[in-house]
Structure 1
Amino acid sequence: MAHSISLQRVFILGMDGAGSFLEHTETPVIDSFLQKGAVTYRAQAESPTISAQCWGSVLHGVRPEKHLLTNELAASEKFPLDSSYPSIFRLAREAWADAKLASFVGWSPINDGIIEDEQEIHKVSLPDDQLVAALENYLDNNPDVKLLFMQLDEPDGSGHKYGYGPSSPDYLKAITRCDQLFGKVLDAIERLQLLEDSLIILLTDHGGGGADAYNHGSDHPMDKQVFWGCVGPGIDANTQLPPLSIVDTAAVAAHALGLEIPVTWDAQLPNSLFRKV
């Protein structure tokens, strides 16, 4: 296994339900930023392509048949602290008792029932615009945060309302709006001079519109195919990524933080991602 690189912090910045449809609308912030590192629009969501199953895989490093999270469970229960599949947050907390960890989400079940209920994790659940303002304020006061996760919810809500995919203008506008909000977060990271010692992962959990124009959950490519990219030290501009799943996000984050990837995880570190030094 590759040696970890021990960066100062990791940001995992996500939007819900955007699939790979960034290719069909204006996303100048994300496009420009990911040119500095690695990006693919052919990464794969986990099945079923539903938010709890997919964000659960992103954060816990295992596939849905192992973490067993569903939207209903995430909304009603706390993730068990004795799970064999710790989230990247629990991994970081066990390594650093005093590290600052934060999760900002538009869909509250991520904070309520997907990320373990650790009091030391700063959790905020708000609508997208208010969420980004709260995140900016948090970063100004906590530039030494070790791990920060963000999930914007607007694309998925627009997909359910207006339909997913390139033929839905209102859905595409929601993705473009999220690109602008991503820009505010990335500007704050740059203003605080955190880029040089941080890994920043940008991704979505699933797409939609495959089997049902107003829904997701199937293995249709419109539901399954997603964008995924990252920028940081050790990653060359225009790095070509091998096929990967969103579950691999946890391994990439753990590696960047210098944490050992649990043997219980399905997450794998993409071979070509980090420059060999």
Structure 2
Amino acid sequence: MQPIAQRVIVLGLDGAGNRIGEANTPNIDRLLGGGFLTYSARTAVPTISGECWGSMFHGVKPELHGLNNSIAEQKKYPTDSPYPSFMKVVKEAYPDRTVASFSSWKPINDGIIEEGVVDCAANARADREHVQSLTELIKGDNDFKLLFVQFDEIDAAGHAFGYGDPLYLEVIAATDALIGDMLQQLDSRGLMEDTLFILLADHGGGGASPRNHGSDHPQDVTIFWGCAGPGVLSGAASEPVRIEDTAAVVAFSLGVEAPAAWTAKVPSGLFEETVR
């Protein structure tokens, strides 16, 4: 299977649900303008970060990957699991290429991604630190293969002010500005054209409670999911996107065979037929 992109960058906006269309997001709009964007993708249930990010990375629902916040905070994900993360799958396929993860929520690097997989990891105290982490990564290795970045302050704003509150939407806008800074860095080094970008939320909020999430209410379960880069069709895929499908899209884009145990799949209509 031939790769269609030289590298993949996954940007995760924790707690953004499907509300980015309500905020001022010129950089996200510009990036996804020629690609694919849905506001009706579905995340895992319960709609908690451990379960949802776990499904995104490991390509299966929570009842199979077994992660929750408590487990991710206390244990490393087993390296012999039949449901490896896409980070592990890509690293095994490209052992000499850099796989990196920058996260403001520590359990992603410490408990959801397997030990020994990530070459470059940064657990940030503030989302803005990811811009500096990217600077350091690019200075040290322009040829990285896979990068995941998790922005946490949107979810914190949802808990503090309410999901959909004007102050919450301001934090989405501030996160978009950070993404713009990152895109500018990538562009200045000629790394945009052959990169596949995936942008998504892990969950929404405000369904059962204005300042919380975790339920199966549509406001908690429905997320945005966008993809742009080589071979991506603009418009809508012909089937619903699930958060676990992210793993299959990453693997396919880099020409890596997906593990048989994954339930993740590449949504039909996402890519041009010539690259499938």
The TM tier, using the shorter chain, reads over 0.9
Q: How big is each residue's C-alpha offset from its partner over 1:85-136, in whole Å with a ceiling of 9 and x where there is no partner?
A: 0001111121122110100001010000000011652110002011222223
1:187 aligns with 2:184: yes
| TM-score w.r.t. length of structure 2 | 0.95
Which residue does the alignment assign to 1:147?
146
Which residue does the alignment assign to 2:43?
45
Query: Where in structure 2 are the equivalents of 1:91-102 lying within 5 Å?
Result: 91-102=89-100
Alignment root-mean-square deviation, CA: 1.2
The partner residue of 1:240 within 233, 236, 240 is 236
Q: Structure 1: how far apart are the matches of 2:211 and 2:4? A: 42
SS of 2:131's equivalent? helix
1:105 aligns with 2:103: yes
Query: Quick one: which amino acid aligns to residue 38 of structure 2?
Result: T
Which residue does the alignment assign to 2:173?
176
Which residue does the alignment assign to 2:272?
275
Which residue does the alignment assign to 1:218?
215
Shift of 1:5: 3.1
Q: Structure 2: how far apart are the matches of 1:63 and 1:251? A: 13
Q: How big is each residue's C-alpha offset from its partner over 1:208-230, in whole Å with a ceiling of 9 and x where there is no partner?
A: 00001111011111111111111
Moved more, 7-16 or 132-141: 132-141
Query: Quick one: which amino acid aligns to residue 77 of structure 1?
Result: K
1:254 aligns with 2:251: yes
Decide whether the 8 Å contact of 2:98 with 2:119 is kept in 1. Answer: yes
Which residue does the alignment assign to 1:36?
34
Q: Structure 1: how far apart are the matches of 2:221 and 2:117? A: 34
Q: Structure 2: how far apart are the matches of 1:121 and 1:137? A: 13
Moved more, 137-146 or 267-276: 137-146
Q: Structure 1: how far apart are the matches of 2:170 and 2:162? A: 12
Shift of 1:68: 0.7
In structure 2, the CA distance between the partners of 1:64 and 1:4, relative to structure 1 (3 Å rule), is farther
Q: Structure 1: how far apart are the matches of 2:23 and 2:96? A: 41
Query: Quick one: which amino acid aligns to residue 22 of structure 1?
Result: I
Decide whether the 8 Å contact of 1:198 with 1:233 is kept in 2. Answer: yes
Q: Structure 2: how far apart are the matches of 1:174 and 1:142? A: 30
Q: Structure 2: how far apart are the matches of 1:233 and 1:201? A: 12
Decide whether the 8 Å contact of 2:23 with 2:169 is kept in 1. Answer: yes
Query: Quick one: which amino acid aligns to residue 245 of structure 1?
Result: R
1:80 aligns with 2:64: no
SS of 2:144's equivalent? coil
Q: Which consecutive residues of structure 1, in runs of 5 or more, have no partner in the other structure?
A: none
Which residue does the alignment assign to 1:15?
13
Which residue does the alignment assign to 2:162?
163
Q: Structure 2: how far apart are the matches of 1:108 and 1:231? A: 27
Shift of 1:6: 4.1
Q: Structure 2: how far apart are the matches of 1:4 and 1:221? A: 37
Query: Quick one: which amino acid aligns to residue 132 of structure 1?
Result: V
In structure 2, the CA distance between the partners of 1:120 and 1:13, relative to structure 1 (3 Å rule), is closer
Moved more, 183-192 or 214-223: 183-192
Which residue does the alignment assign to 1:228?
225
Which residue does the alignment assign to 1:71?
69
| TM-score w.r.t. length of structure 1 | 0.95
In structure 2, the CA distance between the partners of 1:258 and 1:156, relative to structure 1 (3 Å rule), is same
Query: Where in structure 2 are the equivalents of 1:199-218 lying within 5 Å?
Result: 199-218=196-215
Q: How big is each residue's C-alpha offset from its partner over 1:149-197, in whole Å with a ceiling of 9 and x where there is no partner?
A: 00000000111111112xx111111111111111111112212111222
In structure 2, the CA distance between the partners of 1:76 and 1:239, relative to structure 1 (3 Å rule), is same
In structure 2, the CA distance between the partners of 1:33 and 1:258, relative to structure 1 (3 Å rule), is same
Query: Quick one: which amino acid aligns to residue 56 of structure 1?
Result: G
The partner residue of 2:261 within 250, 261, 264 is 264
Decide whether the 8 Å contact of 1:140 with 1:192 is kept in 2. Answer: no
Which residue does the alignment assign to 2:195?
198
Shift of 1:54: 0.5
Q: Which consecutive residues of structure 2, in runs of 5 or more, have no partner in the other structure?
A: none
